[in-house]
Amino acid sequence: MTRNGGKETDIQIAICGSAGDGTIAAGDILKRAMAKAGYKVIAFDVYPPEIRGFGKCISRVRVKSEQAFSLKPLSDVLISLDDSHAIPHVVEVKEFGAVIYEDTPVSMIPEGGHISGHLLSSHIPYGVPFRELSERVTSSARSRNITAVGYLAGLYGMPREVFYDVISDKFKTKPASLTRISIEAFDAAYVVGQDTFRLDEGFLNPPPNKARNGDLMMMSGNGAIARGCMDAGLDTFFGYPITPATTIMERLATELPAKGKRMLQTEDEISAISAAIGAAYAGARAATATSGPGFALMSEMMGLGVMAEVPVVIFVSQRGGPSTGMPTKTEQSDLNIAVFGSAGDGQRIVLAPTNVEGCYKCAGKAFEIAERYQTPVVVLLDLYLSNRYEAVELPANNPFKANCSKPTGKLKKNQPYHRFEITRDFISPRAIPGDKGFRHTVTGLEHDENGRPNDHVHQEMSHKRHEKLLPVARHPGITMSKRFGDKGKVDVAIIGWGSTFGEILEAMIAAREEGIRCAAMKVVLLSPLPLGPINALLGDARKVLVPELNYEGQFANLLTGATGRLVTKLNRVTGTPMHVQDILDEIRRLAGKKKGRQLAAE
């Protein structure tokens, strides 16, 4: 592989094509191969809501020696499988970066329709006969995407064996001939790439050779959720498909039955959560997954889960809203409905992982927490996190505990069982239907300790349902908030949640390198908020910045409401992840420094 003065590898490749070009598949092969080679990888695919043959697909893969927290706004390499879609993305290639494209199109191109006419002066063009290479080896142009990956791998000296493994694995359920010709197509283009004189400034040094404790796996956020569910012993899942949550259900539809457990696709989201609550009431570890519009339908049943103290887990992957909104675009605008959405004072627990590894942990821990605190737990994702891939190292031993419910103990003779007993920690011993001697009633009406409808105890029972949740911030084995960067007093504190935290972390690191005293905090527990560490950071900060992908500043409002501290909001609803540069510019402004563009001009 190419060496470049011992610098750390940090190269981002964007593959852009039309639906049906195999764009996402090419990105998938690339990211899995790079993870297999030992690099840290983060990847994100953007695809259209339409059917095959329409719309733009982009797969972005960032390959690093060390942990990557976010995608870069500018890629080092752009591969075009369809110039009409890729041309607008040429400006997203950095100076002296590479643009790789088809230079033997099958038919005439309209004037201005070829990507070579749109490159910036600093870009390095690599024209490659993808189609010819594919046809020469496979007698078909269908392997153009594989030749594109092969050329890239040869150009940068990537180890070809890992690609062989990934391609073989990808096509293992297809006829063996498909694997063979795919590898031949890859090889043919690899040689062309290897023989190309490279002029761009991207490079790939060998990956660091670090000892690992567990398995390093390439996983999407939704894949990690499914894996966390399985490791936590999920018994049953009910769902209704909706982008971008569907892949959780798809994965569980194959994995749960293989373990003798159940997945049922219901007729709608209301049925899904109702069934999940019913299963959880009956003692099963149960979950559902949806997106904003589906969660809006579930909100009534969320109230039942709170009132009836049923430990159910709901995964919500956010997309652009309101209403049908932007199904294939990312956003963080369902925080309010996740925290507040139901009738009455329906406080519940809301977790929001910030990366793929966090998805795994939050998924598994959500079941422990739901059982321990006997309430619905919402795990809040978004499309950017659900669909992005990272190389994650999962623990060698299963980190999740089975059955975390508060035990009932043995009843004395004629001692009645109070399902909703107000105890010192406000958590009631939980029996499930069928436990001998623990007969009880459950209702959505306000009820007394026995579960009998009673309006007169509403004050006490509301207090119980809220107070029992407060210790959740100390639940073992999960980080509910974490501070990074400078200790003590800082000029700027950046507080974030969900997928945006990766960009926040990169911006904070860049700001510190510029000499700005700053710290960043990720908040995983969004309800109830971990106010101790949050207030400690606010006390240290001259200015507080809250970047998030919604228009209203939902988390900023939540913070200000809970702490009384005014914060600076940074909001974007472009359907794409937050740009590191935008956050960095705002940090500089709050710290009294000039913006990046001004600094560059000077």
Partner 1 sequence: MSAENHIVIIGSGGAGSEAALTIRQRDPDCHITQITGSKLPFISRYELPQVFNGVSGWRELLAEPPEYYDKNQITVRRNSWVDHVDAKNKKVLLKHKEEVSYDKLLVASGGGGYLPEGLREFQPLMNGFGTYEQAVKVRQALPKKGHVIMLGGDMTGLDLARTLVAVGHRVSLVVGEQLFWPHEVTDDQRAKFVSVLEDMGIKVMIDKKVTAVKLGGRGKPARRVVFDGGGGIDGDVVMPFCGLMPSLNFMIGADVDIERGLLVNPELKTTNDSIWAAGDVCQIWSPEENSYLFYYGWHYIKEMGKIAAINMTGGKKKISTYQDDHLYINKQGEIDSPYWMYR
Which residues bind to partner 1, rule: CB under 8 A?
95-96, 103-105, 107-114, 116-117, 119-122, 124-127, 197, 199
Residue 458: both structure tokens together: 């509403």
DSSP designation for 511: H
> Residue 11 CB, nearest distance to partner 1 (Å)?
18
> Residue 124 CB, nearest distance to partner 1 (Å)?
6
Residues 533-571, buried b or exposed e (16+ Cβ, 10 A)? bbeebbebbebbbbbbbbeebbbbbbbbeebeeebbbbb
- CA torsion sign for 196, 197, 203, 208 is positive
Please, which residue, 106 or 211, has the CB nearer to partner 1?
Answer: 106
Please, which residue, 32 or 114, has the CB nearer to partner 1?
Answer: 114
C-alpha 402/C-alpha 434 separation (Å) is 19
Contact (CB, 8 A) for 100 and 77: yes
Please, which residue, 197 or 602, has the CB nearer to partner 1?
Answer: 197
Please, which residue, 50 or 95, has the CB nearer to partner 1?
Answer: 95
C-alpha 245/C-alpha 531 separation (Å) is 30
Please, which residue, 108 or 211, has the CB nearer to partner 1?
Answer: 108
HSE value, Cβ hemisphere, 13 Å, CA-based, for 88: 6
> Residue 276 CB, nearest distance to partner 1 (Å)?
55
> Residue 96 CB, nearest distance to partner 1 (Å)?
8
Please, which residue, 77 or 534, has the CB nearer to partner 1?
Answer: 77
C-alpha 92/C-alpha 120 separation (Å) is 10
- The sheet that has 75-80: what strands, in order across it? 124-128, 93-102, 75-80, 10-18, 56-64, 40-46, 389-394, 215-220
How many residues in total does the chain contain? 602
Please, which residue, 73 or 125, has the CB nearer to partner 1?
Answer: 125
> Residue 165 CB, nearest distance to partner 1 (Å)?
32
Longest dimension (CA), the chain: 90
Please, which residue, 100 or 356, has the CB nearer to partner 1?
Answer: 100
Residue 519 carries which side chain, given as an amino acid letter?
A
Residue 4: both structure tokens together: 């470049």
> Residue 117 CB, nearest distance to partner 1 (Å)?
5
Please, which residue, 2 or 441, has the CB nearer to partner 1?
Answer: 2
Could you write out the DSSP letters of every residue in 132-184? Answer: HHHHHHHSSGGGHHHHHHHHHHHHTT--HHHHHHHHHHHTTTS-HHHHHHHHH
> Residue 571 CB, nearest distance to partner 1 (Å)?
32
Please, which residue, 99 or 559, has the CB nearer to partner 1?
Answer: 99
> Residue 16 CB, nearest distance to partner 1 (Å)?
18
> Residue 63 CB, nearest distance to partner 1 (Å)?
23
Residue given tokens 């049953």 in the structure block: 236
> Residue 597 CB, nearest distance to partner 1 (Å)?
15
By DSSP bridging, strand 236-239 and strand 286-290 are parallel
